[in-house]
Amino acid sequence: MSASTAPVTTTVTGWGRTAPTAARLIRPRTYEEAAAAVRECGVRGGIPRGLGRAYGDAAQNAGGAVFDMTGLDRIHAIDADDGTVLCGAGVSLHRLMEVLLPLGWFVPVTPGTRQVTVGGAIGADIHGKNHHVSGSFSRHVLSFELLTAEGEIRTVGRGTPLFDATAGGMGLTGVILTATLGLLPVETSLMSVDTERADDLDDLMARLTDTDHHYRYSVAWIDLLARGAATGRAVLTRGDHAPFDALPARARARALQFRTPRFPSAPAFLPEGLLSRTTVGLFNELWYRKAPRARTGELQRISAFFHPLDGVPHWNRVYGRGGFVQYQFVVGHGQEDTLRRIVRRIAERRCPSFLAVLKRFGPADPGWLSFPLPGWTLALDIPAALPGLGPFLDGLDEEVAAAGGRVYLAKDSRLRPELLAAMYPRLDDFRALRAQLDPRGVFVSDLSRRLAL
């Protein structure tokens, strides 16, 4: 093992910073180094990790090894005619945008951060504001190379059991080395955005149901502290990639330029209780009031529309030393009453969440542990130190499971394992394939131990 891949024992945590554990961090730069890291990971096994944006414990492995895959960061080939790219699993979506946008191509799916690796995007089967149109990330993956527990490198194509187990499989089927992706053609690096306010949750759902099909991208920021007649009030933002002729003449020479603003990093330590009900309530009130009642055709940078928080390095520090829980669930169409009850319960509980979004999902994706299903998904950040948070979220989990819904494993840090099978019907298939592919249990994480995956 080279000096660059020599293990370093360190504390590893998810983006929520709630449950740090110690592991040996190994950063392979070649296929050979990756195979050696897997072969020598020890009795506690190992788990691949990208840029650390999984909110919970999916990329942690207490007492074992964590494979930092960001060293496999080469873009190997771009077909600018067909719109495909072959790249290493450690390449970030940010890097892909830097390289591809000037060529007139964009990543087909992006979550709320571009600081995600391609391997992580497949392992979590990430989704974005366009799931109702484009599905999740793995729907646009043509194939990938997977390093198995036995040291074999397999080329895995769509429509195979191994592809479907790996898409959303949280790194537990093997280490993704490279992937070939299909891309989206664009004429500019700007977005044409429509913004409007919704008076309450029913108003919001009606607007989304009636007009979402007119937009490629759609998301609603929702005020979860509002109560009474204003429960679920929201700011709805929708849009598409701006065509070239929509740009003013002065901007057309830079039509495909990718620019990303950067603001000062959040301080390493912030006072506990900074995000109280009072401060978050004030923020939510101001955010809702400043939004236009209706505005159409505003031109925004891609970074502003998709990734506003990426401009603030280490924004997760604003929750203080205790960190935060991101809770995301989905319930199907026909379960709107479940969504209404949960939103009311959160509002009545006075959970101080200023990052809360509601979206509509389209058809489910083939990954056995993929999160999306047709319906409604709500995601919210909550300070982990909020008294009684655990039992409160346990109650929401039960309501979600009873409605045939599920929580997102890439963001989970506390789900009880007995609810997992009800949420993910292909769980037994996943476990059986994993047992066949990795009988020695080489690939393991804090998440997999907690949930008996």
CA-wise closest residue to 53 among 107, 114, 2: 114
Reported as a single tens digit per residue, the pLDDT across 12-21 is 999 999 999 9
Percent of the chain with pLDDT over 70: 96
Helix (H) or strand (E) holding 428: helix 427-437
Amino acid at 336: E
3-state secondary structure of 146: strand
Between 269 and 339, the higher pLDDT residue: 339
Does the pLDDT value for residue 379 go beyond 90?
Answer: yes
- The DSSP-derived string for 378-416 is EEEEEETTSTTHHHHHHHHHHHHHHTT-EE-TTT-S---
pLDDT for res 29: 97
pLDDT for res 273: 59
Beta bridge partners of 407: 329
Q: Give 140's pLDDT tier (boundaries 50, 70, 90).
A: very high
Does the pLDDT value for residue 384 go beyond 80?
Answer: yes
Q: What is the mean pLDDT of the segment spanning 239-257? A: 95
Q: Give 87's pLDDT tier (boundaries 50, 70, 90).
A: very high
Reported as a single tens digit per residue, the pLDDT across 307-326 is 999 988 899 988 888 899 99
Between 229 and 280, the higher pLDDT residue: 229
Task: Give the Cα separation of 453 and 445 in Å (integer).
Answer: 9
Reported as a single tens digit per residue, the pLDDT across 154-209 is 999 999 999 999 999 999 999 999 999 999 999 999 999 999 999 999 999 999 99
pLDDT for res 271: 64
Task: Give the Cα separation of 5 and 50 in Å (integer).
Answer: 15
Answer positive or negative: Cα dihedral of 313, 314, 315, 317: negative
Reported as a single tens digit per residue, the pLDDT across 388-403 is 999 999 999 999 999 9
pLDDT for res 5: 65
Kindly report which listed range (117-131, 309-323, 327-341) carries the lowest average pLDDT score: 309-323
Reported as a single tens digit per residue, the pLDDT across 219-247 is 999 999 999 999 999 999 999 999 999 99
> How many CA atoms does the CB half-sphere of 342 hold within 13 Å?
28
Nearest-10 Cα torsion for 134, 139, 140, 142: -160
Rounded to the nearest integer, the mean pLDDT of the chain is 95
pLDDT for res 67: 98
From residue 385, alpha-carbon distances to 90, 298, 343, 382, 389 in Å are 33, 39, 20, 9, 8
Q: Give 83's pLDDT tier (boundaries 50, 70, 90).
A: very high
Q: Give 270's pLDDT tier (boundaries 50, 70, 90).
A: low
Q: Which residues contact 374 (CB under 8 A, 6 or more apart)?
A: 332, 333, 361, 362, 363, 364
pLDDT for res 269: 60
Pairing assessment for the beta strands 184-185 and 190-198 based on DSSP bridges: unpaired
Does the pLDDT value for residue 136 go beyond 60?
Answer: yes
* Residue 302 near residue 258 (C-beta atoms within 8 A): yes
Does the pLDDT value for residue 99 go beyond 80?
Answer: yes
Task: Give the Cα separation of 326 and 384 in Å (integer).
Answer: 9
Q: What's the DSSP call for residue 151?
A: S
Q: Give 280's pLDDT tier (boundaries 50, 70, 90).
A: confident
Amino acid at 253: A
CA-wise closest residue to 70 among 97, 86, 93: 93
Q: What pTM value is reported for the model?
A: 0.96
